[in-house]
């Protein structure tokens, strides 16, 4: 069967890595990529840039003639667009992650040839839950650390409600770091910015426990997993964890390894000490954050503003089960890179490129879509 794919969120980290994988498939003839604005480059004649916005309407802001063509042809929808800002006000996060998803679902219901709707989510819909989170787990009243978690949770509720009427699968990703082979980071996110603060000794403390698990996955693995699970390995009605699972570092291990790598890869001229953050309980961290906001200098306030909306997740230690996902990926020959193998490559790339500042980025510009 030949596929025509609608891809939202193409300017996000995973979207950028996913697009060329889809384009090289011989069973894909068209990839409609939803973007905002103009002036974007494409890497294949299969790719059709479609100007639109998932928050605009149930037509996704697509002009009527183009919308009819997309509706008539699409067999697979990969919904990767999201407002990933942890500090976003809840109403703004909901506008993209909940209302936008609702619009994409309505659009999908009008696609007569639709065979698969793969929605990218996050393992952190688990919010403040602790212990082991299985792939089928969703409903809870534990609360959330930030608006991103809450809005993605609410979006997943919508998706589950529509699973009886549409061929939907939810793919929950954990924290995506960088390419397992080169260490390259296509687009910086909160985790990479936090590492930069640590490199500059601007993160005095971090909440959590020494044994808190930090679940990280490689970018190329995440993209390959999504490609497979949205096409050959698609199974309607499933929720899968694309995550590290048992291959997770403890917070202590992560900080110790990070410091070693910083010292190993820093430029020869940089000799001052690199102070890694102390691990403290959540009340201590919150008290420190408030004091910084009240009397701290501008640099420290900016640093705290970056980490205070996501670092508290470490104070709710949990593991993510991925048995179903691992089984499907193993059958397809997709091997999960081990975190201790790819993490050093990513740190090296970040340090040696100045967090990407010394590297010319290629592909579709990030400004194409504000919410990705």
DSSP character string of 195-207: HHHHHTT---EEE
Q: What is the pLDDT of residue 43?
A: 66
What backbone phi and psi angles, to 5 degrees, belong to 223? -65, -45
Per-residue pLDDT, averaged over 2-26, amounts to 95
In a 10 Å sphere around its CB, with 0-12 CB exposed, 13-18 middle and 19+ buried, how is residue 203 labelled?
Answer: buried
Coil, strand or helix: which one is 52? coil
pLDDT of residue 366 exceeding 50: no
pLDDT of residue 305 exceeding 90: no
86 — pLDDT class (breaks 50, 70, 90) = very high
pLDDT of residue 294 exceeding 90: no
pLDDT of residue 364 exceeding 70: no
Per-residue pLDDT, averaged over 132-140, amounts to 97
pLDDT of residue 35 exceeding 90: yes
Are 47 and 33 a contacting pair, CB within 8 Å? yes
> pTM of this prediction?
0.93
* 192-238 per-position pLDDT tens digit: 999 999 999 989 999 999 999 999 999 999 999 999 999 999 999 99
Q: What is the pLDDT of residue 363?
A: 38
Per-residue pLDDT, averaged over 26-41, amounts to 85
Placement of tokens 């997709």 in the chain = 334
Are 240 and 222 a contacting pair, CB within 8 Å? no
Are 54 and 104 a contacting pair, CB within 8 Å? yes
Q: What is the pLDDT of residue 276?
A: 92
Q: What is the pLDDT of residue 40?
A: 61
Per-residue pLDDT, averaged over 110-128, amounts to 98
298 — pLDDT class (breaks 50, 70, 90) = confident
pLDDT of residue 289 exceeding 50: yes
Per-residue pLDDT, averaged over 47-67, amounts to 95
Per-residue pLDDT, averaged over 284-312, amounts to 87
Q: Mean pLDDT for the chain? A: 92
> Where does the chain have alpha helices with state H?
13-23, 64-73, 90-94, 101-109, 147-161, 190-199, 219-230, 251-265, 282-295, 298-307, 323-331, 339-352
Measure the CA–CA gap between 173 and 216, rounded to whole angstroms.
9
Per-residue pLDDT, averaged over 100-116, amounts to 98
1 — pLDDT class (breaks 50, 70, 90) = confident
Per-residue pLDDT, averaged over 259-267, amounts to 94
Measure the CA–CA gap between 192 and 82, rounded to whole angstroms.
18
pLDDT of residue 348 exceeding 60: yes
270 — pLDDT class (breaks 50, 70, 90) = confident
The rounded percent of the chain whose pLDDT value lies above 90 is 83
Per-residue pLDDT, averaged over 47-71, amounts to 95
Of 35, 30, 31, give the one whose Cα is nearest residue 10. Answer: 35
Q: What domains are defined for the chain?
A: 3-179+215-246+318-338+358-368 (3.40.50.720)
Are 79 and 156 a contacting pair, CB within 8 Å? no
pLDDT of residue 369 exceeding 80: no
């Amino acid at each position: 069967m030949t596929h025509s794919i609608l891809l939202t969120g193409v300017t996000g980290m995973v979207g950028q890595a996913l697009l060329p994988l889809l384009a090289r498939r011989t069973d894909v003839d068209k990839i409609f990529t939803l973007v905002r604005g103009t002036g974007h480059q494409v890497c294949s004649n299969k790719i059709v840039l479609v100007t639109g916005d998932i928050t605009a309407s149930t037509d996704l802001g697509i002009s009527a003639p183009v919308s009819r063509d997309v509706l008539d042809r699409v067999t697979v929808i990969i919904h990767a667009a999201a407002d990933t800002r942890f500090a976003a006000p809840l109403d703004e996060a909901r506008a993209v992650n909940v209302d936008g998803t609702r619009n994409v679902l309505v659009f999908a219901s009008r696609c007569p040839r639709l065979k698969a709707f793969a929605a990218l989510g996050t393992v952190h819909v688990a919010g403040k839950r602790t212990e082991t989170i299985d792939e089928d787990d969703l409903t809870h009243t534990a609360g959330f650390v930030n608006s991103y978690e809450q809005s993605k949770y609410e979006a997943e509720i919508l998706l589950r409600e529509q699973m009886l009427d549409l061929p939907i699968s939810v793919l929950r990703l954990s924290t995506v770091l960088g390419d397992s082979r080169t260490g390259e980071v296509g687009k910086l996110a909160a985790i990479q910015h936090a590492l930069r603060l640590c490199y500059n000794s601007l993160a005095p403390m971090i909440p959590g426990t020494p044994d808190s698990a930090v679940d990280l996955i490689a970018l190329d693995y995440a993209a390959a997993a999504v490609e497979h699970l949205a096409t050959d390995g698609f199974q309607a009605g499933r929720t899968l964890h694309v995550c590290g699972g048992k291959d997770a570092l403890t917070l202590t291990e992560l900080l110790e390894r990070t410091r070693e790598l910083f010292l190993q890869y820093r430029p020869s001229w940089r000799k001052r000490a690199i102070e890694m953050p102390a691990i403290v309980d959540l009340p201590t961290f919150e008290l420190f954050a408030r004091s910084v906001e009240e009397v701290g200098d501008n640099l420290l306030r900016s640093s705290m503003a970056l980490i205070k909306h996501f670092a508290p997740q470490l104070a709710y230690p949990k593991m993510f089960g991925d048995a179903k996902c691992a089984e499907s990926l193993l059958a397809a020959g997709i091997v999960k890179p081990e975190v201790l193998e790819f993490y050093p490559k990513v740190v090296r790339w970040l340090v040696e490129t100045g967090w990407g500042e010394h590297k010319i980025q290629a592909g579709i510009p990030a400004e194409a879509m504000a919410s990705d």
